[in-house]
Amino acid sequence: MMLFSATNRHSRTFRSWASTGFVVLAPLFFGVLARAQDAPASAKPRIVLSTEKIEKLIGQLGANDYRTREEATRQLMAVGAPAMELLAKAARSNDLEVSYRSVRLLEALLDDGEFQSRQRAADILESLSSRSPSAVSDMANDVLTIYRLTQQDRAIEKLEKLGAVIATDLPQLAPGTLQVTINATRWTGKSSDLEMLKQLPSLGWLRFIHVTVDNEVLKTLTELQPAPSPAPEAKPLGDQTAPNGKPVKLADGPAAQKQNPNDPAKPESKPAEKGLQPNTKAAAPVVATVRRGQSSRLYQMDLFGTGISEKSAGELASLMPNVKIDRRKGALLGVEGMPGMNTCGVTNVRPGTAAAEADIRPGDEIATFDGVPIHNFEEFTAQVSTKDPGDRVTIEVRRGEQTLTKELTLRRWEE
């Protein structure tokens, strides 16, 4: 399995500045910045200065004397976060030397030990990058792109250590995106650890398998940034994937079923169960760290056996209209079939599943599922998705001239 890697991430850094005469200055300043960013946050020397002294140092960033500019840069770097707001103002200066050094000092604050400081520095740089095209906005955007890709690499490493399965090379994935699977059989992290999902700008397909979606996780999900355009067309049902990411002909459950209470195509189900409700005040639909420098790519979210209520899943879908939400209770029957047909024919039965133990065979046609008439495989999988692991169900199958009744206990999705 191939991990996403941010290669050639510094290729654009100097592009906008080549015509400004700072190419000689940049390597010298990058040397100072690199040393500061390589050091642990706790090891960075900090000095306390008054606002007046900070303003004076910022003014010296544009001094004619090179040594004065360098000394002012060094001291402002040592001041750290208290200089941030004044640097934000200086970055908009008409003096390109002052703007350049201010943006680089803000970049250094992205490596600050305090999360709030890093967040504020990212917000300021985002504001700069969203201005009318200019050398400063391009540079701010480059800084954010580098920062986010670096954050993504770190987040991937941490998530994998906690048991997440991350892939980029699956044929079902949209180009340039990641699939992240959080499965209870592997996951050892806490709900708070899933905050790292917000640091994955290339996240395209997110899967939760039997991991409880509590209020904290639900808030994190609402803060993920969806794709700016509708999700890609779903692969045909005969080319879906199991929760472990391996391709199979058909997964039990609707293919990327949108949980929309007003969707007329939605199959009849039990009354909405009492479940988790999102905190609409705390759960903003767009997290602050998702910005212009980050590609917004999330297009599919699978919630299998997570305990999320139908109502909460519907509200999540309404916040993310371009993301396909596939909510299932987590039951697995173990049959595969062909989509788009006028019958529900079985093409394959997975060994060791409930279907195999009930002697359902390839070539059988499923006529009813727990008393509900079935006309095609899509209807059948929609019915399976409403069941919990351990539920007892009755299935009628046609085999040649015979109609057979099968009673079985549904199992659960596993790796």
All structural domains of the chain with their residue ranges: 15-146, 162-328, 332-412
CATH homologous superfamily of 332-412 equals PDZ domain (2.30.42.10)
Report which of 67, 51, 45, 150 is spatially closest to residue 107, judged by C-alpha positions: 150
pLDDT single digits (tens) 105-115: 999 998 876 77
Fold category of 15-146 in CATH: 1.25.40
CA 336 to chain centre: 29
Q: Is 350 exposed, middle or buried (0-12, 13-18, 19+ CB in 10 A)?
A: middle
pLDDT at 225 over 70: yes
C-alpha torsion sign, points 226, 223, 120, 156: negative
pLDDT single digits (tens) 284-322: 222 333 333 344 589 999 999 898 988 999 999 999 989
pLDDT at 15 over 90: no
Rounded to two decimals, what is the model's pTM? 0.59
Cα separation of 318 and 336, whole Å?
Answer: 31
For residues 384 and 305, is the Cβ–Cβ distance under 8 A? no
Cα separation of 122 and 140, whole Å?
Answer: 9
pLDDT at 264 over 50: no
Report which of 251, 353, 261 is spatially closest to residue 304, judged by C-alpha positions: 251
User: Which own/partner pairs from 21-27 qualify as long-range (CB within 8 Å, at least 24 positions apart)?
Assistant: 22/96, 22/97, 22/100, 25/100
Report residue 244's pLDDT band, with 50, 70 and 90 as the boundaries: very low
Cα separation of 255 and 250, whole Å?
Answer: 9
Phi, psi angles (nearest 5°) of residue 403 = -120, 120
Phi, psi angles (nearest 5°) of residue 396 = -100, 130
pLDDT single digits (tens) 350-388: 999 999 999 999 999 999 999 999 999 989 988 998 898
